[in-house]
Amino acid sequence: MPRLYVVATPIGNLDDLTPRMRWALESASLIAAEDTRVTQKLLTVMDISRPLISNHQHNEETRAPRIIERMIAENIDVAVTCDAGTPGISDPGMELVSAAWQAGIEVISVSGPSAVITTLSAAGFDAREFAFFGFLPRENGDLRKKLHAIAHGPRVAVAYESPHRIVNLVEQIAREIPGARVCVCCDLTKKFEKIERGLAGAVLECLKANPNVEKGEYCVAIELPEIEEDEAPAVQMSPRHMVMDALLEGMSMRDAVKCATQQGASRQDAYAASLEIKRWLESQLEE
């Protein structure tokens, strides 16, 4: 029975190559690569010669069944790789692996580098539970909605970001999730690796001061602010009380609404509560 090797590859440092990666690539009769040119360079370094076939986000849905058919017809083993990191983790590979399972083909995972896990290990956040979001939305409106979802999920989240949008992302995190900490990793394992960690606002200033901030590949971990047990709102607390409490602590009305949504109130209810409080305050001033 043919086997499909899911082979992770270095995310920047070739010293991360392992004997097991070599074994898997040498065992395969064919390598399904995200970009055949990138994988060919890696094979050349490893002194391995194998035929390559492209398997990327634009063709994997139709390419995967054909690869499976060939594996069965010719009884050959295949290795699937992406340009860097682990296939299927915000990279091609999922369709081919899923098709292999459906065809009864043995799937062998060859573990290795992952920017997600490397970022978490460098962050020092409590990642016993975390969510991975791949690349976040480009438009600020959609990005804010996603950050709102992140604020109501596991305490730690991880995402990729392009160098041209990294400053905006951290700025939006500081604005939408007050008190959040971030760990911004650039070019992990590479020569010019750089990691900034701290409150989102402080990291934002570091990024703005970096003249090379728009160069490299970024992975970001977000840690939500911790809510102490004795500070947690009562289940029965109304959105109006949540907003009012935040105002009494010195927050602006806008931040008070955000605070209420982070405590479980819907955005609509929190906004309605803010309007009610505004009307009440205005009536008091008129008297």
Regarding whether 54 and 95 lie in a shared domain, the answer is yes
Residue 77 sits in a domain whose CATH number is 3.40.1010.10
Single residue among 113, 137, 155 that ends a domain in this structure: 113
Regarding whether 131 and 29 lie in a shared domain, the answer is no
Residue 145 sits in a domain whose CATH number is 3.30.950.10
Regarding whether 215 and 253 lie in a shared domain, the answer is no
Digit-coded pLDDT (tens) for 157-186: 999 999 999 999 999 999 999 999 999 999
DSSP assignment of 203-233, as one string?
HHHHHHT-TTTTSS-EEEEEEPPP--GGGSP
Regarding whether 253 and 208 lie in a shared domain, the answer is no
Regarding whether 145 and 109 lie in a shared domain, the answer is no
SS3 content of the chain, % helix, strand, coil (to 5): 45, 20, 35
Share of the chain above pLDDT 70, in %: 96
Single residue among 184, 207, 223 that ends a domain in this structure: 223
Phi–psi pair at 182, nearest 5 degrees: -135, 155
H helices, E strands: number in the chain: 11, 10
Digit-coded pLDDT (tens) for 13-39: 999 999 999 999 999 999 999 999 999
The boundaries of the domain holding residue 194 are 116-223
First to last CA, the chain: 85
Regarding whether 181 and 82 lie in a shared domain, the answer is no
Provide the β-strand partners of residue 7. 110
Regarding whether 107 and 32 lie in a shared domain, the answer is yes
Average pLDDT of span 205-234: 85
Residue 98 has a pLDDT of 98
Residue 233 has a pLDDT of 47
Regarding whether 17 and 65 lie in a shared domain, the answer is yes
User: How many domains does the chain contain in total?
Assistant: 3
Share of the chain above pLDDT 90, in %: 78
Q: What's the 3-state SS for 92-136?
A: CCHHHHHHHHHCCCEEEEECCCCHHHHHHHHHCCCCCCEEEEEEC
Q: Chain-wide mean pLDDT for the chain? A: 93
Residue 285 has a pLDDT of 73
Helix axes 166-176, 140-151, angle to 10 degrees: 50
Average pLDDT of span 130-146: 95
Comparison of pLDDT for 69 and 245, the residue scoring more = 69
Task: Return all residues near 162 (Cβ < 8 A) that are at least 6 apart.
Answer: 135, 218
Among 114, 109, 81, smallest CA distance to 3 is for 109
Single residue among 56, 84, 113 that ends a domain in this structure: 113
Regarding whether 212 and 144 lie in a shared domain, the answer is yes
Regarding whether 219 and 130 lie in a shared domain, the answer is yes
Residue 287 has a pLDDT of 59
Token representation of residue 129: 């539970």
pTM value is 0.76
